[in-house]
């Protein structure tokens, strides 16, 4: 599969904002269309965020949003269209990994970090992150800090 990732820089592209918002809601704790659209528009404008979309032709099928600080880049959101995700059996198409690698390349010199729950720990480990358990931040939900050193 050939991967194509683009940075979203025009928050006025209605079709892209709509699709990016739909993807973003896939990784939100409590999906909210207005909140997702607002975050996409804010991230597309830049500082302190970067937003990249993975494209299948002209249609976005993956999204990553990263918040920048001086030395770190925090992955605040990452999602792949449900039909294109890995199913735990190695059948994934590498879209999530492609988004992480693209962000790491674009943000070379910054450590990548992410906070996640047990559902995504394996994904981050496969992408080269060191994972540290943080305990239960929310009742019944173990949280983890994932770190990948700057390259």
Task: Give the contacts of 23 (CB within 8 A, at least 6 positions apart).
Answer: 53, 60, 61, 62, 63, 79, 80, 81
Reply yes or no on whether the pLDDT at 138 is more than 90. no
Reply yes or no on whether the pLDDT at 75 is more than 90. yes
Please name the residue ranges forming H helices in the chain: 14-25, 33-45, 95-106, 121-126
pLDDT digits (tens, 9 = 90+) for 7-62: 766 555 778 889 999 999 999 989 999 999 999 989 988 889 999 999 888 889 99
Give just the sign of the alpha carbon dihedral 42, 112, 54, 36: negative
- CA 119 vs. chain centroid, Å, equals 14
Task: Give the contacts of 124 (CB within 8 A, at least 6 positions apart).
Answer: 114, 116, 131, 144, 146
Q: Look over the chain and give the mean of its residue pLDDT values, rounded to a whole number.
A: 88
Length of the chain, please? 151
Question: What's the predicted TM-score (pTM) here?
Answer: 0.90
Q: Which domains, and CATH codes, for the chain?
A: 5-148 (3.40.630.30)
Q: What is the pLDDT of residue 10?
A: 56
Q: What is the pLDDT of residue 26?
A: 95
pLDDT digits (tens, 9 = 90+) for 114-128: 999 988 999 999 999
């Amino acid at each position: 599969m050939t991967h194509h990732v683009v940075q979203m820089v025009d928050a006025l592209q209605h079709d892209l904002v709509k699709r990016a918002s739909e993807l973003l809601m896939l990784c939100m704790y409590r999906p909210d269309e207005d909140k997702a659209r607002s975050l996409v528009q804010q991230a597309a404008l830049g500082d302190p965020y970067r937003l990249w979309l993975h494209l299948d032709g002209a249609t976005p099928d993956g999204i990553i949003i990263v918040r920048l600080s001086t030395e770190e880049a925090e992955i605040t959101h990452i999602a792949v269209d449900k039909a294109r995700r890995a199913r735990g059996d190695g059948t994934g198409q590498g879209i999530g990994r492609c988004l992480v690698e693209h962000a790491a390349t674009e943000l070379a010199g910054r450590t990548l970090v992410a906070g996640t729950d047990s559902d995504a720990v394996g994904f981050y480990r496969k992408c080269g992150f060191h994972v540290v358990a943080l305990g239960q931040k929310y009742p019944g939900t173990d949280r983890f800090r994932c770190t990948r050193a700057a390259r």
